[in-house]
A = this chain, B = another copy of it.
Amino acid sequence: MDEFSIIQQYFSDAKSRTTQVGVILGIGDDAAIIRPADGEELLFTTDTLINGVHFPEETAPDAIGHKALAVNLSDIAAMAGQARWFTLALSLPEPDSTWLKAFSDGLLTLAKQFGVSLVGGDTTRGPLSITLSVIGTIPEKMAIRRSTARPGDAVFVTGQPGMAALGLAAINDEIILSDIEQSKCRNKLDYPQPRLLEGQFLRNYASSMIDTSDGLAADLSHILQASGCSAVIDSERLKNCLPAAADLPGKSTIEAALHGGDDYELLFTIPASRVLKLEQSWRHSFPLLTHIGEITTGEGILLRDSNGDFMKVAARGYNHFNA
């Protein structure tokens, strides 16, 4: 089995071809040829997943394929863009056909769901590692950045932050969850859903946006540093979106929400005057949406408890070189 046949056999099937809008020439030449519409800006991002670092060693191959694409789509979502085309660089120890079939299934099923086309790739022998690069498109000047939050803006998060971290903690026997909770948290860890439709909806609302890959505190800090401001998170509000898992010794759900990574939810700010309109128009098909705090002047993040007392929150999150 050579490189060319791996790409031909597993990654250039009808499943991805059905959605190849804008693809003039796909897999098989030196480079793909793609045609964006006039006046569109491009969003360009890349993310690597390494075995044992970004997913537990025993992760199902279709989950690895799903997640490799999902984390990249999440970056396009966090800019409010539409994901369009991607390349795959796959390094694996052995060309194992069972593994490749499941991996490509997970990858291409998600690609089809969001109409994003695989247009090129490179396979090499080496330690298991997957790098995807995605191009998205967005109408001119509509991308939502990290640097444009303003004091007075409300802070929102989608979904239930901390679920993926609880799933990982359960795998590592750090906590015990009920079967149903463990299944939900593990599913969140293995099959994150990129919030592309939600991100596009937020073009008309968000003043700044990021996806939560490192944890709420670390990712909010990226917004705050880029925007030159501070935030107050209301612990009572935050509790409204925590996973149902009961607090357990050594790993509280609020700790998981603030400092656990891998959720790939959207964390964004919007002007206070737009909060009501946003909450009224947020779609039923979208995930839970929670107003967790406010942007203020200053630096860093404060957590306000039910007594009105403030506690400083460390910006730490998951970091591959400090872990």
A residues with a Cβ closer than 8 A to B are: 1-3, 6, 24-25, 28-36, 38-39, 41-48, 50, 53-54, 74-76, 78-79, 81, 85, 87-89, 91, 95, 119-127, 129, 131, 133-136, 138, 140, 143, 145-147, 209-211, 226, 319-323
Complex Cα gap A189–B17 (Å): 37
Q: What 7 additional pairs, Cβ within 8 angstroms, besides A44-B133, A48-B122? A: A24-B143, A31-B75, A31-B81, A36-B36, A48-B124, A53-B124, A126-B129
Complex Cα gap A25–B211 (Å): 17
Could you say how many copies of this chain the assembly holds? 2
Beta-carbon contact of A50 and B320 below 8 Å:
no
CB distance from A56 to the nearest CB of B (A): 15
Beta-carbon contact of B33 and A124 below 8 Å:
no
- Which B residues are in CB contact (< 8 Å) with A47? 89, 122
CB distance from A42 to the nearest CB of B (A): 5
Complex Cα gap A79–B78 (Å): 32
Given contacts A3-B320, A46-B120, A135-B135, contact A143 B79 (CB under 8 A): no
Beta-carbon contact of A136 and B89 below 8 Å:
no
- Which B residues are in CB contact (< 8 Å) with A131? 46, 48, 89, 122, 131, 133
Given contacts A30-B210, A31-B75, A146-B30, contact A91 B48 (CB under 8 A): yes
Beta-carbon contact of B30 and A89 below 8 Å:
no
Beta-carbon contact of A33 and B42 below 8 Å:
yes
Beta-carbon contact of A79 and B46 below 8 Å:
no
Beta-carbon contact of B48 and A89 below 8 Å:
yes
- Which B residues are in CB contact (< 8 Å) with A120? 44-46
Beta-carbon contact of B48 and A43 below 8 Å:
no
CB distance from A97 to the nearest CB of B (A): 12
Beta-carbon contact of B145 and A44 below 8 Å:
no
CB distance from A92 to the nearest CB of B (A): 9
- Which B residues are in CB contact (< 8 Å) with A42? 33-36, 42, 135
Complex Cα gap A54–B119 (Å): 23
Complex Cα gap A177–B300 (Å): 62
- Please give me the residue from chain B that is nearest to A127 by CB atom: B127
- Please give me the residue from chain B that is nearest to A77 by CB atom: B30
Beta-carbon contact of B124 and A50 below 8 Å:
yes
- Which B residues are in CB contact (< 8 Å) with A87? 44-46, 133
